[in-house]
A and B are shown apart, each in its own frame.
Chain A
Amino acid sequence: MTINTLSQDGVQRQQMPCLTKMERMIISMQDPDMGIKLRNQRLLITVIPHKCSISDEEALHVGQLFVKYGYIYPLKEPRNLILKADDSSYRFQTPYYWMSTRWPASELDYAIYLAKKNIRKQGELIEYEKECYNALHKRINHTWDFVVMQAREQLRASKQRRKGDRIVLECQEQAYWLVNRPPVSPEHYKLTTLTKNTIAITYCAVKYNQIFFLSCLFFLARNRVKSSICLESYVKYCEQYQPHDPIMQGCLPSNPWITDDIMFWNMNSETVALPTKLRVERWSFSFMELLNDQMGRKEFLTYLEKEFSAENLCFWQACEDVRHGETAKIPEKVDEVYKQFLAPGASRWVNIDSKTMEKTLEGLKRPHRFVLDDAQMHIYFLMKKDSYPRYLKSELYKNLLARAIVPQETKKSVFPFMRRQRHSSPSPALATQTAEDDGKAKYSNSNSGTASRL
């Protein structure tokens, strides 16, 4: 639902599918064989059928929606539009008064209804109805004669009906107006009063169709993978990550939101001395997981230094910095990268294949944000295929994994009703302020400018 639908027609467009669904359910509820049991004069709803296999609470919730939108109305306290799970009586509203068939409820009809009430019994209108009546009288004064005439006619016609029918019709009409003109306007009325002159999307039809046509050709040319392979990968992924998902399997020592104990966050922070086992294990899931964790990245850098290939990771980080940094600083950053990593005889020269190197050097003549992409990609996959698997088999990694902590589950508090004090933490915004005050640069080589201080 967009804000543009918040006009008269828009509400109908948004609500129609919901109303259609509700109406379908209401109709099936009234089915003589499968629906709800009805009683002679009064229709009783004690239990909403469980054909949708939903719980009692949800049944009540759905029933509530029916009452709110006027498909069922209560008999005893008509003004109280809620569904109670007891013996109170309700009746199905006739389709004539369904919201989808009579949208929107017009002012004229409401005026006629109020006029009828007024004529039938002086003083029958309650407070807010009196106010509405007077307001309408002012607003549509020019057709007031018509309103009164219509009201009189309808009252005369109803007197001709049988008493039972007349009572039911009056109930139906009353229920309809209670839903559509309640004392406090519900949300869907507030929506209709939001006037926003939105600019309609002016589309050059030809241009749009051209773009769409070209896109279709592009989509068709795509290489697709068999469903079975793709879907299997979700199963594997969910299985692999389940122990790491606190909502699925809990977390050790405990979930801070549940126990008010922030040990879990402290033990997994950036600067902790010894990481947890789960965290170290996660680095083995994919190269991306290792790089996304600042501690993992540092460990990997240490390993690469031993192998004398640390310049690869540094180069990759520098490229990230160019890609995601300020546009204005791109030329100078690219220049730095060239001097440090790409120039012949550079101090930290990276080993890229000649074809990519040629292409990159050519592009450096007119540096832009993505000029280093090919080279970065080459180095990334080099690390991923070569250094990363060796790191996972290395002593460095295995040692860390062996030393990593498995936190103890927090013992349940002796006094379970005493709430622990919730401590605040330093705001990340504070970190920059201190750094700025010290005149330190925001970016450093081992930090690609993303959220590393947290």
Chain B
Amino acid sequence: MACQGLAKGETTNTLKAESESLKAKLEEERAKLHDVELHQVAEKIDALGQFVMKTRRTLKGHGNKVLCMDWCRDKRRIVSSSQDGKVIVWDAYTTNKEHAVTMPCTWVMACAYAPSGCAVACGGLDNKCSVYPLSLDKNENLAAKKKSVAMHTNYLSSCSFTNSDMQILTSSGDGTCALWDVESGQLLQSFHGHSADVLSLDLAPSETGNTFVSGGCDKKANVWDMRSGQNVQSFETHESDINNVKYYPSGDAFATGSDDATCRLYDLRADREVAIYSKDSIIFGASSVDFSLSGRLLFAGYNDYTINVWDVLKGTRVAILFGHENRVSTVRVSPDGTAFCSGSWDNTLRIWA
């Protein structure tokens, strides 16, 4: 690495000043290759027609704010977690509850479905991520077979299985992300580089499957190499906390939702922000974002109880969905793109199609 010669006498201030000048240089380099805006390129595409989406299912059963949810790969089951410590697995199609676990902590902010559909992972204020194998034996207490996998020094904000049931990626309020082996609970890799709480992460849908993006309260979105733990790209254009990050389906870009009431699209090959999705009448922060299957639509849940649907290419808003009675905390499109699910502080989840 070029700076092996960091002189011993180099103070923090010198380093900081040098970093700032490097940052400025980076912005310069990024701007050099920016020859066209996204909406200009999108001019030749037809605008989207009338957009109608309704609530098709309402899942009631949580006793408190729903904080997070995830889909199962069978395209109809979901797992959701709430402030009162309950984690529920539903068949969203029939609205039946199939499993319920009570966590020993409140504010379960992260939950994820295992790729095989046989387990769920969750965590929150307990600073841990635990994996519960799902048993169909009615008499069995799910909590008995729980596996404690991740250990952070602050709350768990987000977790996700990698390509198999055997590894979990977590992000935490302690400013780090980490990769864990489920069976042994061993820390495989840790990722340092955020200077404040990390609120969200998403794995890249790429051929080589080696990177992920994270967003945090330091307004930065960082892209990481899972093998080496290195921060390979960093973007800092938001004006406030980044609440959620999601990859574009091709893996070449990712979207972010932030407390500054905007959502933004960042391209990884151009290495810059390429679109901002905002409106004067949208005042409250976006808590969660997700793309439709083709990547043409971006669904974003906001703290003013609404969900806005954006045309990703043209940058315009296509629809605004009302229905929730409190802030929308999580929005996820189903694996086959037939619907999306929203969870809210009004204790319910809604499936829209």
Contacts and interface: CB of A to CB of B under 8 A. Distances in A.
Contacts of B167: 324
B254 interface: no
B160 to A, nearest CB: 13
Interface in A265-289: 265, 268, 287-288
Contacts of A429: 117-118, 133-136
A210 B15 contact: yes
Main secondary structure of the interface of B (DSSP, over half): loop
A187 B83 CA distance: 14
B177 interface: no
A430 B136 contact: yes
B283 A228 contact: no
Main secondary structure of the interface of A (DSSP, over half): helix
Contacts of B15: 206, 209-210, 213
A430 to B, nearest CB: 6
B326 to A, nearest CB: 7
Contacts of B26: 216, 219-220
Contacts, number: 326
B174 A1 contact: no
Contacts of A21: 261, 280, 283
Interface string A208-246: 111111111111101011111111111101111110111
Given A248-B292, A429-B118, A22 B312 contact: no
B283 A225 contact: no
A224 B252 CA distance: 13
Contacts of B234: 215, 219
A18 B96 contact: no
B188 A215 contact: no
A239 B304 CA distance: 32
Given A233-B252, A234-B295, A248-B294, A427 B22 contact: no
A65 interface: yes
Contacts of A251: 338
A327 B182 CA distance: 9
Interface string A172-203: 00000000000000010000000010110101
Given A215-B193, A219-B232, A255-B338, 18 more contacts: A3-B109, A3-B125, A54-B279, A201-B174, A209-B15, A209-B19, A224-B29, A227-B35, A229-B269, A238-B295, A241-B295, A244-B294, A247-B340, A326-B166, A380-B207, A425-B91, A433-B135, A449-B164
16 contacts: A3-B173, A65-B284, A205-B12, A210-B15, A213-B22, A220-B25, A227-B33, A231-B274, A245-B296, A246-B339, A248-B294, A258-B353, A424-B93, A428-B116, A448-B164, A449-B164
